[in-house]
Amino acid sequence: MEDLVSAFGLLARVDVLIALLIGSIGGVIIGAIPGVGAAVAIAILLPATFSLEPLVGLTMLLGIYGSSMYGGSIPAILINTPGTAVNALTTYDGYPMTKAGEARRAISLAYSASFFGGVFGILCLILLSPVLAWIAPQFGSREIFLAALLGIILVVLAHRGQIFAAGMLACFGIFLNTIGLEPIKYTQRFTFGQSWLSSGIDLIVVVLGLFALSQAFVLMVGKDDSPKAQPLKGSLFSGMKELFGHKRVATVASSFGVLMGMIPGVGEFTAQFMSYTYAQKTSKKPELFGKGSPEGLIASESANNAVPAAAMIPLLALGIPGEALTAMMLSVFYVHNVIPGPQLFQNDMDFVLALYIAMLVLNVLVLIFLLFSTNLLTKIIQIPTRFLGIVIMVLSFVGVYSLRNSTVDCAIAAGFGVFGLVLKRLNLPVVPIILGMVLGGIMETKLRSSMARVKTPLDFIDRPIAAFLFAIILLVIILHIRTLVIEHRNRQPETDHDLHDTQMR
Amino acid sequence: MLVRIKTLKQLFQRHRRPGNLFFATIFLILSLFLLSQIGNQTVWKSSTKLYAQPALWPIVSLVGMALFALLNWISAWVSPKIAGRWLEVQFWLRSFEYVLWFMAYVYVVPLLGYLPSTVLFAVVLALRVGYRTPKMIAFSVLMAVSVVVVFKSFLQVRVPGGQIYEWLPDFMRSFMLTYF
């Protein structure tokens, strides 16, 4: 209770509230524009938030993360183009509803489902807090090492059909993190005698190159396009009532979102797929799925919006990010010397609670904003893509250059921009590089600190959580091999799809 | 229009695109080159345990990178060729023009100052990508000014003032250096 009062005290400040407002509304707008997305926006804003207090900066970034998917559903429903990658499934039922003259109903339902998923995720996070506060201190160095290793393995295995590429990119990320002067023996690693490599390659520079500059290059080199969306007529308040009629689907979908969000390297896609399959199997009208089913729309939007709150669990409790956006947020913690992990729950519970409350408030703010400004957003969607490329490039400059006014940083970011463009064009994932960089650093530090007490290899897993994590790692690998064998026996013709290409737009 | 996804495998499946073999070859060469440099670019300390060796993680990552890059290359080599490889490589190379624009912007900012450089850069780039109407040029100027006002004037991010500001009258100089 004391922590709760203290948390409200932390939030009751003008700068925090302004950050919350900018983050939530900005996130919706960014999500609504196909071609930007939360990752690009967070990458650009990251250096600017370093000068702000941790809570202010994190509130703004969380606002963008939590609200971008709301905005992303607008173009997904109205013009069949997902605003963010995780709104792709929304096009399946949202766009057919628009074609059937039910755009207003679909948008209203998407907002309501998103709100339900968002709030459900946060409530789960709040309810799980005591468990996290109890379990997190039991994670020592070796447990965190194993959890980070599990995260790397999962992110590689999640890229079906591109596992070799995902593996080499994750290893590339781990390698990037080793470049420079290492802090224990003070030896140079892969600096090739170049002084500018001694301080290593900054994560933010890589993130800005891979996410933001690459997107600017893709948009400017590609053909110009200006999506057109028809304005909506009528009130958007009816969705909540209709959602109530499908509360079972919404609850199950949000639960999948929470479960999948907690597991590093998995996230929105799996949650959405499981929810959608569940909704279709249990529906009275399964034939409507893919042709404008309200239940399909609810399953997709509830699941993806429940993920951000759940994704904060491994980040806050263990200091392990499960995907690119939380990896970026980790750097905000580090810059301010706030180290997420078990100590955070023990010493700064009010800070953690303040983040939860901020996320709740942002969902309310976003819903209110959307109910009154959707038609304005349909105009913003029409920004021509090449102009968007110029905007991203101008913003990327301030992101990279403001770090330490370094021309070299800008050149490195531009290099990673081209690399990111190649990866996006090849349909290869960018996320393993970022997770490799972050988790690689964690693994190196934690292995070193944990091995001092380990005499035989078995000592490494002699604690219950370490043994459990090790068993999970083995299980994941064995199950993957088993699946490969079964699939090889029952080969089916493959259908190409461009679901992952949505990252490019 | 997206193809319907029926299984979890299909959902995560990422399909190859033109240029895949070219990229796989370049990445394999890079991996092998880096791996060959381990002896020169890292140090193996004699009286240090394995887990604390400075070279351990570069070795782990580069061996993993080379192994996966080799498997990726073999997979690309044995897969059916997709038409349009060199067109795709051309697309990649075209992005270097924008790298040059970006670096020009980076070099000009400390000379002309953040506001004038950003306005100039936005307008020139808008003309370059094909926007000729006064409306789009005006939007470019407005966007550039907004970015500078938000980041430099309000958020006070660290972007140095331009050398050109030194020639301004005294009453304007410090104002421009602080806010634009």
Mean pLDDT comparison of A33-37, A87-91, A300-304, highest-scoring range = A300-304
Question: Tens of pLDDT along A99-118?
Answer: 888 888 898 899 999 999 99
Looking at every residue in chain A, the average pLDDT score rounds to 86
Evaluate whether A420 touches A210 at the Cβ level (below 8 Å).
yes
Q: Is B126 on the interface with A (CB under 8 A)?
A: yes
Highest mean pLDDT among A216-225, A380-389, A480-489, B62-71: B62-71
CB pair distance less than 8 Å for A168 and B99: no
Using N-to-C axis directions, what is the helix angle for A90-99 and A103-135, rounded to 10°? 160
Predicted confidence band of residue A223 (pLDDT cuts 50, 70, 90): confident
CA dist B62 and B41 (Å) reads: 12
- Does residue A373 or residue A337 have the better pLDDT? A373
Question: Backbone dihedral region of A37: left (phi > 0), alpha (psi from -120 to 50 degrees) or beta?
Answer: left
Q: Answer yes or no: do A164 and B88 touch at CB < 8 A.
A: no
What is the C-alpha separation between A157 and A166, in angstroms, rounded?
8
3-state secondary structure of A181: strand
Please give the pLDDT value at position A495: 54
Residue A500 has pLDDT above 70, yes or no: no
Question: Is it the case that residue B166 has pLDDT exceeding 90?
Answer: no
Closest Cα in chain B, distance from residue A24 (Å): 17
How far apart CA B49 and CA B52 sit, in angstroms, is 6
Give CA–CA dist A60/A46, Å, rounded: 10
Please give the backbone phi and psi of residue A188, each rounded to the nearest 5 degrees, phi first.
Answer: -85, 140
Among A85-94, A224-233, A368-377, A404-413, the minimum mean pLDDT is found in A224-233
Minimum-distance CB partner of B58 among A158, A189, A220: A189
Contact A440 B34 (CB under 8 A): no
* pLDDT for position B161: 84
| Position A363, amino acid | N
How far apart are the C-alpha atoms of A340 and A317, rounded to whole Å? 7
Asked if A221 reaches chain B (Cβ–Cβ under 8 Å), the answer is yes
Selection from A444, A472, A429, A457 nearest residue A153 by Cα = A472
**Whether A317 contacts A132, CB under 8 Å:** yes
Beta bridge partners of A188: A181
B4 touches chain A (CB under 8 A): yes
Q: How does the average pLDDT of chain B come out, rounded?
A: 87
* HSE (side-chain half, CA atoms, 13 Å) at A450: 23
Residue A163, pLDDT above cutoff 80 = yes
Distances (CA, A) of B140 to A391, B127, B135, B162: 8, 10, 9, 21
Q: Does the distance separating the beta carbons of A160 and B131 come in below 8 Å?
A: no
Pairing state between β A180-181 and A188-189: antiparallel
Contact flag B75-A164 (C-beta cutoff 8 Å): yes
Instruction: Please say whether the beta carbons of A226 and A98 come within 8 A.
Output: no
Q: How far apart are the C-alpha atoms of B64 and A167, rounded to whole Å?
A: 8
Q: Measured between alpha carbons, how far is A201 from B73 in angstroms, rounded to an integer?
A: 27
Q: In chain A, which residues have their Cβ closer than 8 Å to the Cβ of B16?
A: 426-427
| Residue in this structure with the two tokens 């791996």, named with its chain if needed | B35
Rounded Cα gap, residues A226 and A236, in angstroms? 26
Quick one: DSSP state of residue A87? G
- Nearest Cα to Cα of residue A340 among A54, A69, A118: A54
Interface contact B19, partner A, CB < 8 A: yes
Query: pLDDT tens across B60-103, in order?
Result: 999 999 999 999 999 888 888 888 888 889 999 999 999 999 99
Nearest-neighbour CA in chain A from B164: distance (Å): 18
| DSSP H/E element including A433 | helix A431-451
C-alpha to C-alpha distance for A395 and A232, rounded to whole angstroms? 31
Measured at the CA of A99, the angle between CA A98 and CA A103, to 5 degrees, comes to 15
Give A119's Cβ-side CA count (13 Å radius).
Answer: 14
Chain B residues touching A170 at Cβ < 8 A: 64
Phi, psi of A373 (to 5 degrees): -130, 15
Query: Distance between CA A323 and CA A30 in Å, rounded?
Result: 19
Q: How far is B166 from chain A (nearest CA, A)?
A: 19
Looking at residue B80, its pLDDT comes to 81
Q: Where are the alpha helices (DSSP H) in B79-149?
A: 85-112, 114-128, 134-148
Closest Cβ opposite residue A165 in set B45, B72, B151 = B72
DSSP A59: H
Contacts 24+ apart (CB under 8 A), B147-153: B147/A391, B147/A394, B147/A395, B147/A398, B147/B118, B148/B114, B148/B115, B148/B118, B148/B180, B151/A48, B151/A398, B151/A402, B152/B114, B152/B115, B152/B179, B152/B180, B153/B179, B153/B180
Q: How far is A8 from chain B (nearest CA, A)?
A: 25
> Residue A292, by phi and psi: left (phi above 0), alpha (psi -120 to 50) or beta?
left
DSSP A311-362: HHHHHHHHS--SSHHHHHHHHHHHHTT---SHHHHHH-HHHHHHHHHHHHHH
Contact at CB, B13 and A160, closer than 8 angstroms: yes
Contact A178 B57 (CB under 8 A): yes
Contact B98 A216 (CB under 8 A): yes
**What are the beta bridge partners of residue A18?**
none
Partners of residue A496 in chain B, C-beta under 8 Å: 3, 15
- Per-residue pLDDT of A419-459, as tens digits, reads 999 999 998 888 899 999 989 999 999 998 888 778 888 88
Q: Which of residues 184-213 of A touch B (CB under 8 A)?
A: 184-185, 187-192, 213
Dihedral angle computed from the Cα positions of residues A14, A15, A17 and A21, in that order, rounded to the nearest 10 degrees: 130
B-chain CB neighbours of A290 within 8 Å are 4
Q: Which chain A residue lies closest to B48 (C-alpha atoms)?
A: A185
In percent, how much of chain A has pLDDT > 70?
Answer: 96
pTM assigned to the model: 0.88
Q: Which residues of A304-313 are buried (b: 16+ CB within 10 A; e: fewer)?
A: bbbbbbbbbb
CA gap B151, A395 in Å, rounded: 9
Q: Which two tokens stand for residue A461?
A: 């897993």
Q: Which residues of A touch B159 (CB under 8 A)?
A: 398, 401-402, 405
Most confident of A54-58, A139-143, A191-195, B121-125: B121-125
Which chain B residues are closer than 8 Å to A380 by Cβ? none
Using DSSP's 3-state secondary structure scheme, residue A397 falls into helix
A460 pLDDT band, cuts 50/70/90, is confident
Q: For B10-48, how does the pLDDT look when each residue is reduced to its tens digit (9 = 90+)?
A: 555 556 788 889 999 999 999 999 999 999 999 888 888
Residue with token string 């207090």: A53
Neighbours of A382 (CB within 10 A): 12
Q: How far is CA B51 from each of CA A82, A147, A461, rounded to the nearest angstrom?
A: 46, 18, 16
Nearest to A302 by CA among A95, A111, A59: A111
Beta-carbon contacts of B170 under 8 Å, excluding residues fewer than 6 positions away, are none
Q: Of chain A residues 37-96, which have a CB less than 8 A from chain B?
A: 47-48, 51, 80, 88, 91-92
> Of residues A251 and A88, which shows the higher confidence score?
A251
Residue A7 DSSP symbol: H
**pLDDT on residue B36:** 95
Note whether A479 and B82 are within 8 A (CB). no
In angstroms, the CA B124 to CA B131 distance is 10
Q: CA of A303, closest CA in chain B: separation in Å?
A: 15
Chain A residues close to B121, C-beta within 8 Å: 394
A265 with A480: CB under 8 angstroms? Answer: no
Q: Which of residues 161-180 of B touch A (CB under 8 A)?
A: none
Q: Which of B3, B41, B68 sits opposite A496 (nearest CB)?
A: B3
Q: In chain B, what residues touch A291 (CB-CB under 8 Å)? A: none
